[in-house]
Amino acid sequence: MTLEEIYELDPTQRIIDEGADWGAKEMLKAGLPIYYHSEDYPETMDGDLFVKEYPNGAKILTRKILTEDFRLLEEHLTTLNPDFMSKVNWWKD
């Protein structure tokens, strides 16, 4: 199901998403990475895979796992924008 289909079924979801977009932009401005699902990366649309985006634009496919003792583990699987990653020292931002 696409976002447009979701918005047709529940118009308030668009308002929620617009607020989340604002919050994500503010976190990036503050120097914090954000996590999200994206139709641009279909593997993230279901389950425990997320895009982790750094303030400098670096994007990494990340798996988040909640353990039985409630620790949140993060596994970096692959870079999603390797051309960008080869041009910057992304870990320094």
Tell me, what CATH number does 57's domain have? 3.30.160
Q: What are 35-57's pLDDT values in tens digits?
A: 999 889 999 988 899 999 999 99
How many residues appear in the chain? Answer: 93
Instruction: Measure the CA–CA gap between 46 and 43, rounded to whole angstroms.
Output: 7
- For the ranges 13-17, 41-45, 71-75, 83-87, the lowest mean pLDDT is seen at 83-87
State both tokens at 3: 């976002």
What's the pTM?
A: 0.74
Asked if 49 and 37 sit in the same domain, the reply is yes
Q: Which domain holds residue 64?
A: 33-93
Count the domains in the chain. Answer: 2
Q: Is the pLDDT of residue 91 over 60?
A: no
Q: What is the dihedral of CA 53, 59, 65, 70, to 10 degrees?
A: -30
Q: What are 15-24's pLDDT values in tens digits?
A: 888 888 899 9
